[in-house]
Chains A and B, each alone.
Chain A
């Protein structure tokens, strides 16, 4: 048995952004087990102050390259809320479609490029090109489809330009949507193949469980990413997004300088597994069948299964995109002028990033210039839960070889799909 361990994993690899793991044990007892975030601060809440509402999306999209559509939509929803703009049904549907593209792209990137190498025993996806060419081809095809959806709907793969307050700066054509529908149809067997591969490898995920509170958007009878109220696995109460601070309850802990979040327990989890736990009843048929194939159940308390939930959601967004495009084509794409006028006001936008629920709040003056902003990012909400998982998991694996302990702790961090480059805020903004 390894009684003594001193492990400092600097700059955990295959995650978005920078994080360290610091672990120390002596005589079989854990003395220190910490998740640390050393990412350079970027100060977005300050950067948007004084800016025109028309420039907010351009700035806050740059918080995160991999959640840029989600940050865009949170901002656009909050700005519309503040300016009293109600988007049309067509605008909502097209935004949701673009948002599905980002969920698919991000989930496939995470499962295929960042997690799969652990399950197949390789340090990166590069050796998989030779050892598992079919899997890599499937992953690339699905990843490209997610990007294609964002390109067709939002104008670019990363940092969209068409999604603006009041509507679309340019609409996709019906021909664009039909060709996307064709590609989505072709993706279904690829997703089934990917789910089979993941099902065959899920045994390589550590059998660790720690029950926690899951928080996500809920909007029955749908499986929501864009609309809805804040729900929790610990209560039937739902909270309007305007009161998100009541759910997030940021607090300072002496163990970490980053603020943590808690609602009914010491911490909570957001992300694909949280969404699945709260909304599994509303999955489309193939997505529900995929969950069964993968052995994913609503009482799942194993954080490593977040990656499995991402596979289920990849099926969900493709399946739902197909029906959504049907709905759009039945109505036909109508030319709608985009209107957004400045006025004083405050607004909130809540949407699901691939890695969990995201909140933006802005206040504008009468000229439409931003007075204050508060951005509450999913990875920040997960920091406390990840810390508690590390504390609970480490004693269970302390008798293993140090390299194996290190790998499993890194896998635990990766399972949260952290996006540290957007989460480096402590958020002590005074909002009155």
Chain B
């Protein structure tokens, strides 16, 4: 019996079970410039990013921790600044371009720096914790037509990602820490795209849910991919695909819908929690259950949550909704019923939480350092046992 097994046995023997509980959220307005504001992501430090529109309809990137709203200045009256993503090193990627022009400049603002680093002429969409940025750029295809093609930037080198069967259009929309990128690509003569995975520059068609098209929006470090797919019924649903180490889909999950129209999955954290929107309602999905986030906030808050666009490993969620009837306001949701032992964040204390804690403990993930002393030892195990036996708040 190895140390991991011994710890497991020890924990199982010590567990007495815990009360059921459910996460609720406190909601905070991320701020605005007078008009619409849309959050596009949040990192594990609780810093959100997105874009905001001022009264002259100029678009600006921004960062916000819920208390301080910081615009990222655009570079001219007609240029746009979309902050597309942020990593745990507080590096923000911004797309800066002039409307009507094909050239986009990818900028990276490193935490606390006022001046950006210019990454190159491409449209950035996501950044991982090793500073790899994915996105797309316009290239000239056969016949002189201009197409967007997926690309990846790493350490100063911009690389075009491969196409499916020699196709043209492709977008890279997400990247995990090992560098696997996801997005969509269109085959030659096809009118609609298919969800695509890139390992290195090699594309893999991930397929969909049996319909005409699909698009992958994000991937986590467990190689779980989320996105949207067309169904044979004509509906479009969010999906969760699990991939093995070779990038092969081993499980396809239709996330379902809240109402009767559609859903789309936009982000996933490393705990497997998925966010997106269904029938114009923001949702969080975990272990087979799609929950309307509007039912998990104060009913008297005045907020209607329309879309959830990002989630970090602490369960904080960002998105866009309306406040007091005023639409397109960016928000951040912070779990209030924090249950330290609920490592799977599903509101249920069970053996899966134990396994999740053990995995984190053995990997020396900081979330398992429950004593906060940067040492992974028996005292963290004791702290976990105490939390588990205490149960979750009702």
Please determine whether chains A and B interact with each other in the same assembly: no
